[in-house]
Amino acid sequence: DTAVSQTPKYLVTQMGNDKSIKCEQNLGHDTMYWYKQDSKKFLKIMFSYNNKELIINETVPNRFSPKSPDKAHLNLHINSLELGDSAVYFCASSQDRRAGGSTDTQYFGPGTRLTVL
């Protein structure tokens, strides 16, 4: 069973297009994240949702809009794609320690490689 899954795995698109990446976790966690990993492998958080509520919003262009329809899903929609958006995007989830989780362990999905031409 896949704990954190993302679709699609690869996404190739033209500049200016709008695209979405989907993420689902079956771990029962209440917190989900989106990370961006650039070409130098640097991992940077973009957003975090706890129980469908946005709790972390790093300095990300407003062309990026996360949407959490329920606790198990966190999708990322990107408008007007730019060349600099090319990266690998990772979804992750964790159980908040205050909510009874034993650790802050974040479980990552397999990633979506976005290439903007």
Site residues (CB under 8 A) for another protein?
4, 30-31, 40-45, 48, 50, 55-56, 58, 90, 92, 94, 96-99, 103-111
The phi and psi torsions of 71 (rounded to 5 degrees) equal -60, -25
Nearer CB in complex with another protein: 14/103? 103
Q: State the nearest-atom distance from the C-beta of 87 to another protein, in Å.
A: 14
The number of beta carbons lying within 10 Å of the beta carbon of residue 82 is 12
Q: Which of 81, 75, 41 is nearest to 61 (CA)?
A: 81
User: Cα 99 to the chain's mean position, in Å?
Assistant: 22
Q: State the nearest-atom distance from the C-beta of 66 to another protein, in Å.
A: 14
Q: State the nearest-atom distance from the C-beta of 7 to another protein, in Å.
A: 14
Nearer CB in complex with another protein: 12/15? 12
Q: Which residues pair with 109 in a beta bridge?
A: none
**Hey, what amino acid is at 97?**
R
Q: State the nearest-atom distance from the C-beta of 95 to another protein, in Å.
A: 9
